[in-house]
Amino acid sequence: MCGIVAYVGKQEALPVIIKGLKRLEYRGYDSAGVALLNDAGLNVYKKKGKVSELENFIESNPNLHSHIGIGHTRWATHGEPNDANAHPHYSASENFAMIHNGIIENYEVLKTDLINKGYTFHSDTDSEVFINFIEDIYQNNNCSLEEAVRLALHKIVGAYAIVLMNKEEPDTLIAARKGSPLVIGVGEDEFFLASDATPIVEYTNQVVYLDDYEIAVIRDAKLQIKTIENVETHPYINKLDMELEAIEKGGYEHFMLKEINEQPRSIADCMRGRLDSRAGRLILGGLRDYMNKFQNADRIIITACGTSWHAGLVAEYLFEEFARVPVEVEYASEFRYRNPVINSRDFVIAISQSGETADTLAAIELAKQKGATIFGVCNVVGSSIARATHAGSYTHAGPEIGVASTKAFTAQISVLSMMALMLGYQRGTLPESKYMELLSELEAIPAKVEKALKLNEQIERIAAQYKDARNFLYLGRGYNFPVALEGALKLKEISYIHAEGYPAAEMKHGPIALIDEEMPVVFIATQDSSYEKVVSNIQEVKARKGKIIAVVTEGDQTVRKMADHVIEIPRAHEAFVPLISVLPLQQLSYHIAVMRGCNVDQPRNLAKSVTVE
Applying CB under 6 A, which residues contact ligand M6R?
305-308, 352-354, 357, 360, 403-405, 489, 493, 609-610
Shortest Cβ 58–ligand M6R spacing (Å): 31
Q: How far is the CB of 425 from ligand M6R (least distance, A)?
A: 28
C-beta of residue 382 within 8 angstroms of C-beta of residue 209? yes
Considering beta carbons, is residue 198 or 308 the nearer one to ligand M6R?
308
CB 334 within 8 A of CB 305: no
How far are the Cα atoms of 120, 122, 124, 441 from residue 92, in angstroms, in the given order?
Answer: 8, 9, 15, 63
Type of residue numbered 95: N
Comparing CB distances to ligand M6R, the nearer of 360 and 480 is 360
Instruction: Please report the DSSP string for 359-408 in residue order.
Output: HHHHHHHHHHHTT-EEEEEESSTT-HHHHHSSEEEE-------SSS-SHH
What DSSP state is assigned to residue 195?
S
Interatomic CA distance for residues 329 and 485, integer angstroms: 14
Distance, CA of 484 to chain centre? 20
Rounded to the nearest 5 degrees, what angle is found at the Cα of 34, between the Cα atoms of 30 and 37?
170
CB of 251 to ligand M6R, least distance (A): 23
Is 608 designated active site? yes
In the residue annotation, 2 being an active-site residue is answered as yes
CB of 360 to ligand M6R, least distance (A): 5
**For the chain, how long is the longest CA-to-CA vector?**
81
| Shorter beta-carbon distance to ligand M6R: residue 125 or 405 | 405
How much of the chain is in helix, strand and coil states, percent to nearest 5? Answer: 40, 25, 35
Nearer to ligand M6R, 43 or 384 (CB): 384
What does the CA dihedral 219, 224, 229, 233 come to, rounded to 10 degrees? 180
Q: Which is nearer to ligand M6R, 135 or 262 (CB)?
A: 262
* Chain residue at closest Cβ approach to ligand M6R: 306
Of 2, 305, 378, 598, the catalytic one is: 2
Cβ of residue 47: shortest distance to ligand M6R, in angstroms?
26
Sign of the dihedral through C-alpha 213, 218, 219, 220: positive
What are the Cα distances from residue 350, in Å, to 250, 286, 313, 426, 476?
A: 31, 14, 12, 22, 25
Closest CA to 66 of 88, 46, 44: 44
Closest CB 561 distance from ligand M6R, rounded Å: 34
Q: Which of 13, 197 has the CB closer to ligand M6R?
A: 197
- Of 265, 272, 180, 164, nearest to 219 by C-alpha is 164
Our CB check for ligand M6R shows the closer of 174 and 600 to be: 600
Q: Report the nearest approach of ligand M6R to the CB of residue 332 (Å).
A: 8
Q: Which residues are catalytic?
A: 2, 608
